[in-house]
Amino acid sequence: MDNSCSVYVLTSLFFDRQGNVSSRNVGVTFSLHDAEAHRAEGVQNEFQEFPVSDDWREDTATTALVKAMRSFRGIVEDMQEEALR
């Protein structure tokens, strides 16, 4: 069983200050129907689909723990260097 949902990032083409064609994110939706309706509004509109895991909160907590452990390691290294002086 797939434990993810799709997020659709709506984009639109525009001209930047230099006259180049660029893409700009203009919205986000969970609905494929809304994404397709956005694309149908004009040739400049498109969307990209991204899968998001149902357990994204666990992934985020793991990432936060890794950052905290790296920070703690840095503090310990600084303390060790200070003790050797």
Q: Is pLDDT at 72 greater than 70 in this prediction?
A: yes
Q: What is the dihedral of CA 19, 23, 26, 30, to 10 degrees?
A: 170
**Confidence at 35, pLDDT banded by 50, 70, 90:** very high
Q: Are the CB atoms for 59 and 53 separated by under 8 Å? A: yes
Distance separating alpha carbons of residues 53 and 62, to the nearest angstrom: 14
- pTM assigned to the model: 0.58
